Amino acid sequence: MDSFWNINNENNRFASLDGDIQADVCVIGGGLTGLTTAYYLSKEGKKVVVLEKDVICSGTSGGTTGKVTSQHGLIYKYLKDSNGKEFARKYYEANEKAIKDIEKIINEEKIECDFEKKKAYVYTESKNEIQNIKNEVEVTNKLDIDSKFVDKIDLPLEIFGAIQFQNQAQFNPVKYANGLVKSLLKNGVAIYEKSKAMDVLEDDEEYTVTTINGSVNAKYVVIATRYPIITFPGYYFLKMYQSTSYALIVDTNTDLQTDGYYINSETPQISLRTVKDGDKNLLLIVGYDYKTGSEIIGNPFDYLFARVKRMFPKAEIVKYWTAEDCISLDKIPYIGDFSNVLDNVYVATGFNKWGMTSSNISANIITDKIMGRENEYEEIFRSSRLEIIKNKDEAINMLKESVDGIVVKRIKGKPTPTCTHLGCKLSWNQLEETWDCPCHGSRYTKRGFVIESPAVSNLEID
Ligand code: FES
């Protein structure tokens, strides 16, 4: 399902890789992380190749809300409690810097992507949640974050309160990606679409990234797929899971004007923002998240539309789609060295649905690493950290899910289909007619073609 952003995606225009080529850096993944990393590295004079398995910005970056923000739900109290005040402040600074860096790229490269400054809100319609909002306000004030408690927002909702962040932004992510692509081509970056990276093979001095019809030899490899395509080492399948969200664009048939964008703090969570469509503001609503591969209760699109209708009775659906994201166990992205035993291979994943600023932070950290520079935020996102076990409930759930899938396979002999990643039994997604893996979130079409990693091989279905 194409997203609203992708309706006019003009980037489906690159040939697939055919033959063996050489580069300084091979970036795997043509979403915002991969493109921004290629952008910074090409400005440093590196010869960069980007491999995209489908078309540019067709994956998670093409299905996002496009919120460019340092307000990641109610995260700052959690970060302060789990990692300390200084850590929480640095996380904020890294994301604030990313907002500025994205704006700088947009200005310098003259990218028309409907970039708008907005306030960000986390609100609640539940009396039980209000204390959590107030606690977050207290913590953000102590961290010197430009934030405050408000009791009203620009949506027809009865709220108990909200936390507001100033000077955040939103844009159209695919238009931004298109602008980045134009700059990459000017800087000599080679882009290949329909070129799925199958493996990364280590040689003495460099790596060979293989695709079906060719390969890229490079000293540095950046794995900027949503989910890393290498399973061992790295072991990211033990450190995060995938979550599917549902998205609707609606015409509210009102003169929709808001000073900000919104997400609620209770479950089920919904995220809302305006979207420019010519002279009109449409409304984007995203939510009804569930762990990919688990049973979907009810119809998420119906649920979201009912939520919209409560606010805007004359609303009409314009477009709908689903989006998949990687969720890290400690709510912090993994950015930097892919593994301690694999030099010059870098990763950016586990963005927890906050991929716009995270993509820019990743690009900066990885570029600095390749250029041999220190980055002041590197330690916050260190991908080889082991402290993730702090979130014990999630760790136990994940292990249980993985083991359940493998056990089913062993008990029942050879049920089909089983996932080509690590062999878990797949579940049938009736809504989208796909096979989904409950272990680490790979997805396949009903004919068995991989549409979501970490699996790279198709199913064998008769
Ligand atoms: Fe890992 Fe399916 S995604 S076993």
Burial class (CB in 10 A: 0-12, 13-18, 19+), 232: exposed
Where do the H-state alpha helices sit in 319-432? 355-370, 392-411
Q: What is the pLDDT of residue 398?
A: 56
Whether residues 227 and 337 fall in one domain: yes
C-beta of 437 in contact with ligand 1 (< 6 A):
yes
| 265 domain residue, yes or no | yes
Whether residues 278 and 305 fall in one domain: yes
Return d(Cα 172, Cα 65) in angstroms, integer.
8
Domain boundary among 328, 348, 372: 328
Whether residues 200 and 221 fall in one domain: yes
| 260 domain residue, yes or no | yes
Q: Which residue CA neighbors atom 3 of ligand 1 most closely?
A: 440
pLDDT over 70 for what percent of the chain? 92
How sure is the predictor about 426, in pLDDT bands with cuts at 50, 70 and 90? very high
C-beta of 450 in contact with ligand 1 (< 6 A):
no
Q: What digits encode the pLDDT tens for the residues 163-173? A: 999 999 999 99
The two structure tokens encoding residue 325: 């994201």
Whether residues 268 and 373 fall in one domain: no
Q: Which residue CA neighbors atom 4 of ligand 1 most closely?
A: 422
Whether residues 291 and 249 fall in one domain: yes
The two structure tokens encoding residue 445: 């079409």
* Residue 438 DSSP symbol: T
Please give the residue range of the domain that contains residue 422: 406-452
Q: What digits encode the pLDDT tens for the residues 111-122? A: 999 999 999 999
CA of 157 to the centre of ligand 1 (A): 40
Whether residues 414 and 279 fall in one domain: no
Instruction: Report which ligand 1 atom has the smallest distance to the Cα of 438.
Output: 2
Q: What digits encode the pLDDT tens for the residues 293-307? A: 888 889 999 999 999
pTM, to two decimals: 0.93
Average pLDDT over residues 122-129: 97
C-beta of 443 in contact with ligand 1 (< 6 A):
no
How sure is the predictor about 2, in pLDDT bands with cuts at 50, 70 and 90? confident
User: Residue 438: is the preceding peptide bond cis (ω within 30°)?
Assistant: no
Q: What is the pLDDT of residue 186?
A: 97
CA of 268 to the centre of ligand 1 (A): 26
CATH number for position 420: 2.102.10.10
Residue 310's contacts (CB-CB under 8 Å, 6 or more residues apart) are none
| 399 domain residue, yes or no | no
The two structure tokens encoding residue 459: 């199913």
CA of 237 to the centre of ligand 1 (A): 8
Inter-axis angle of helices 32-43 and 173-186, to 10 degrees?
A: 30
C-beta of 424 in contact with ligand 1 (< 6 A):
yes
Contact assessment for residue 4 and residue 284, using Cβ atoms and an 8 Å cutoff: yes
| 137 domain residue, yes or no | no
Return d(Cα 254, Cα 262) in angstroms, integer.
18
CA of 18 to the centre of ligand 1 (A): 29
The number of domains in the chain is 3
Q: What is the pLDDT of residue 405?
A: 47
CA of 454 to the centre of ligand 1 (A): 7
The DSSP secondary structure of 122-159, one letter per residue, reads EEES-GGGHHHHHHHHHHHHHTT-SEEEES--SSS---
C-beta of 113 in contact with ligand 1 (< 6 A):
no
CATH number for position 246: 3.30.70
The two structure tokens encoding residue 67: 């919120």
User: Taking all residues of the chain, what is their mean pLDDT, rounded to a whole number?
Assistant: 92
Whether residues 339 and 362 fall in one domain: yes
| 165 domain residue, yes or no | no
| 263 domain residue, yes or no | yes
Residue 262 has pLDDT above 90, yes or no: yes
Interior/surface letters 186-210, b for 16+ CB within 10 angstroms, e for the rest? ebebbbbbbbbbeebeeeeebbbbb
CA of 20 to the centre of ligand 1 (A): 30
Q: Tell which one of 401, 437, 458 to mutate to probe ligand 1, the residue whose CB is within 8 A of the most ligand atoms.
A: 437
Whether residues 277 and 384 fall in one domain: no
Whether residues 262 and 288 fall in one domain: yes
Whether residues 178 and 316 fall in one domain: no
Q: Tell which one of 424, 429, 450 to mutate to probe ligand 1, the residue whose CB is within 8 A of the most ligand atoms.
A: 424
Return d(Cα 195, Cα 53) in angstroms, integer.
5
The two structure tokens encoding residue 234: 């790295």
User: Residue 454: is the preceding peptide bond cis (ω within 30°)?
Assistant: yes
**Lookup result for tokens 């009865």:** 158
The DSSP secondary structure of 287-308, one letter per residue, reads EEEEETTSPPPS-HHHHHHHHH
| 74 domain residue, yes or no | no
CA of 111 to the centre of ligand 1 (A): 38
CA of 73 to the centre of ligand 1 (A): 28
Residue 81 has pLDDT above 80, yes or no: yes
Strand 334-339, strand 240-251: pairing: unpaired
CA 226 centroid distance within chain: 6
Residue 400 has pLDDT above 90, yes or no: no
| 385 domain residue, yes or no | yes
Whether residues 178 and 314 fall in one domain: no
Contact assessment for residue 425 and residue 415, using Cβ atoms and an 8 Å cutoff: yes
Whether residues 179 and 309 fall in one domain: no
- SS3 label, residue 201: strand
How sure is the predictor about 392, in pLDDT bands with cuts at 50, 70 and 90? low
Average pLDDT over residues 18-24: 98
Domain boundary among 310, 328, 346: 328
418-to-108, 324, 448 alpha-carbon distances in Å: 48, 20, 10
Residue 112's contacts (CB-CB under 8 Å, 6 or more residues apart) are 175, 179
Residue 395 has pLDDT above 70, yes or no: no
Q: What digits encode the pLDDT tens for the residues 177-210? A: 999 999 999 999 999 999 999 999 998 889 999 9
C-beta of 426 in contact with ligand 1 (< 6 A):
no
Interior/surface letters 13-52, b for 16+ CB within 10 angstroms, e for the rest? ebebbeeebebbbbbbbbbbbbbbbbbbbbeeebbbbbbb
CATH number for position 204: 3.50.50.60
